[in-house]
């Protein structure tokens, strides 16, 4: 656990400076563990909570914005570390940045409904602390933390189900939130200075805010309409934990009571793709998620995309 007051001193600011400006009090940073350690630990906890053994999993979806390495996918390594034998399951990655867990759940629900798989494991694990722009943009850097969360899903009796699923993408803001290096955009050998300059996280918050304010309310209306729900039908809203300001804005502009919106960002920071499933876990541990409840999972991501799942628990 790293408190904002500790980071204040590192960047030459008075104690309380970051917390007052970001609303994030603390976050977790990896120490000796790496992204795979976090993923495997979360996966094992999810299996235990579901009373399932690794050999009962026939598909693993690794849902994250940034993988362990470029090639191969991260999911096979998680399969191996969980002790699942060669050929015993499928394993692949999903990257829709902050919406990766939500996208993976939407995809897995379809795969389970088709009968292709019986039981799947979704794992989100992020080490956001590796590429934060502390020198150029400390207020953005202070929003983020490391973390992992996982969940097991099985084809059931139909009482728990997706009532609606939607995603919309607005590529006009493609470069407003990015890490440019690591793919093919910048050539490490021929463009070393560009590669180094774009290896840190960059975000134009004002651009993202304006686009979200303009389009997200109508998107939310479409998700609710597809589910056949009114706002008063929603028992709990579990959003991506972008920032304290973003969650306050969501509650204020969407018409949901602040108490209905799960907010853990003050204590965990923005854990990228791991934020939403971590918030789900906290809500479950607090007894806020029960059978038959109507939950709305919402988020935005780089790209920029909006995502929403209406789920009957």
What are the backbone dihedrals phi and psi of residue 239, each rounded to the nearest 5 degrees, phi first? Answer: -100, 165
- CATH for 2-154, options being 3.40.640.10, 3.40.47.10, 3.50.70.10, 3.90.1150.10: 3.40.47.10
> Mean pLDDT of all residues in the chain?
96
pLDDT digits (tens, 9 = 90+) for 9-50: 999 999 999 999 999 999 999 999 999 999 999 999 999 999
Is 78 in a helix, a strand, or coil? helix
From residue 137, alpha-carbon distances to 9, 47, 65, 128, 176 in Å are 16, 39, 20, 15, 14
Sign of CA dihedral 150, 156, 160, 165: positive
Q: Rounded distance, CA 72 to CA 283, Å?
A: 34
Q: Rounded distance, CA 49 to CA 52, Å?
A: 8
Does 312 have pLDDT greater than 70?
Answer: yes
- Mean pLDDT in residue range 273-292: 95
Domain boundaries, the chain: 2-154, 161-312
pLDDT digits (tens, 9 = 90+) for 81-130: 999 999 999 999 999 999 999 999 999 999 999 999 999 999 999 999 99
Shared fold status for 2-154 and 161-312: yes
Is 37 in a helix, a strand, or coil? helix
CATH number of the domain located at residue range(s) 161-312 in this protein: 3.40.47.10
pTM of the model: 0.96
Residue 7: per-residue pLDDT: 98
Q: Rounded distance, CA 252 to CA 139, Å?
A: 23
Q: Evaluate whether 257 touches 238 at the Cβ level (below 8 Å).
A: no
Residue 279: per-residue pLDDT: 98
What are the backbone dihedrals phi and psi of residue 311, each rounded to the nearest 5 degrees, phi first? Answer: -120, 130
71-75, 150-154, 288-292: range with lowest mean pLDDT = 288-292
Q: Evaluate whether 240 touches 301 at the Cβ level (below 8 Å).
A: yes
- Mean pLDDT in residue range 188-215: 93
- Mean pLDDT in residue range 284-306: 95
pLDDT band at residue 186 under the 50/70/90 scheme: very high
What residues pair up with 177 in beta bridges, in sequence order?
203
For the sheet containing 161-169, what is the strand order? 161-169, 305-312, 294-301, 236-239
Residue 157: per-residue pLDDT: 67
Does 251 have pLDDT greater than 90?
Answer: no
Does 291 have pLDDT greater than 80?
Answer: yes
What are the backbone dihedrals phi and psi of residue 86, each rounded to the nearest 5 degrees, phi first? Answer: -55, 130
CB atoms within 10 A of CB 47: 18
What are the backbone dihedrals phi and psi of residue 249, each rounded to the nearest 5 degrees, phi first? Answer: -65, -40
pLDDT digits (tens, 9 = 90+) for 128-184: 999 999 999 999 999 999 999 999 999 876 678 899 999 999 999 999 999 999 999
Element (H, E) at 134: none
Question: Would you tell me the crossing angle of helices 275-285 and 100-114 to the nearest 10 degrees?
Answer: 70
pLDDT digits (tens, 9 = 90+) for 296-307: 999 999 999 999
Residue 253: per-residue pLDDT: 86
Q: Evaluate whether 246 touches 254 at the Cβ level (below 8 Å).
A: no
Q: Rounded distance, CA 148 to CA 124, Å?
A: 5
Radius of gyration of the chain (CA): 19
Does 228 have pLDDT greater than 70?
Answer: yes
């Amino acid at each position: 656990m790293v408190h904002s007051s500790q980071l204040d001193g590192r960047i030459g600011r008075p104690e309380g400076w970051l917390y007052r400006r970001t609303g994030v009090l603390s976050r977790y940073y990896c120490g000796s563990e790496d992204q795979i350690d976090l993923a495997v630990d979360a996966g094992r906890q999810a299996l235990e909570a579901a009373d399932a053994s690794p050999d009962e999993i026939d598909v693993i979806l690794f849902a994250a914005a940034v993988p362990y390495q470029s090639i191969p996918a991260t999911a096979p390594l998680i399969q191996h570390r969980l002790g699942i034998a060669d050929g015993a399951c499928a394993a692949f990655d999903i990257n829709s940045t902050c919406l990766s867990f939500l996208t993976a759940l939407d995809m897995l629900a379809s795969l389970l409904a088709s009968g292709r798989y019986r039981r799947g494991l979704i794992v989100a694990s992020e080490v956001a602390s590796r590429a934060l722009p502390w020198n150029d943009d400390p207020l953005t850097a202070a929003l983020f933390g490391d973390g992992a969360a996982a969940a097991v899903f099985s084809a059931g009796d139909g009482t728990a189900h997706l009532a609606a699923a939607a995603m919309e993408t607005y590529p006009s803001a493609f470069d407003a939130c990015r890490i440019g290096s690591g793919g093919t955009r910048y050539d490490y050998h021929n463009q070393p200075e560009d590669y180094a300059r774009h290896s840190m996280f960059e975000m134009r918050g004002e651009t993202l805010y304006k686009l979200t304010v303009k389009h997200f309310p109508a998107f939310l209306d479409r998700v609710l309409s597809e589910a056949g729900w009114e706002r008063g039908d929603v028992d709990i809203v579990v959003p991506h934990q972008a920032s304290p300001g973003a969650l306050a804005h969501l509650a204020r502009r969407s018409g949901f009571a602040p108490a209905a919106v799960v907010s853990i960002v003050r204590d965990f920071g923005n854990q990228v793709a791991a934020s939403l499933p971590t918030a789900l876990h906290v809500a479950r541990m607090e007894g806020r998620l029960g059978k038959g409840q109507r939950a709305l999972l919402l988020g935005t991501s780089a790209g920029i995309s909006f995502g929403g799942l209406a789920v009957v628990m």
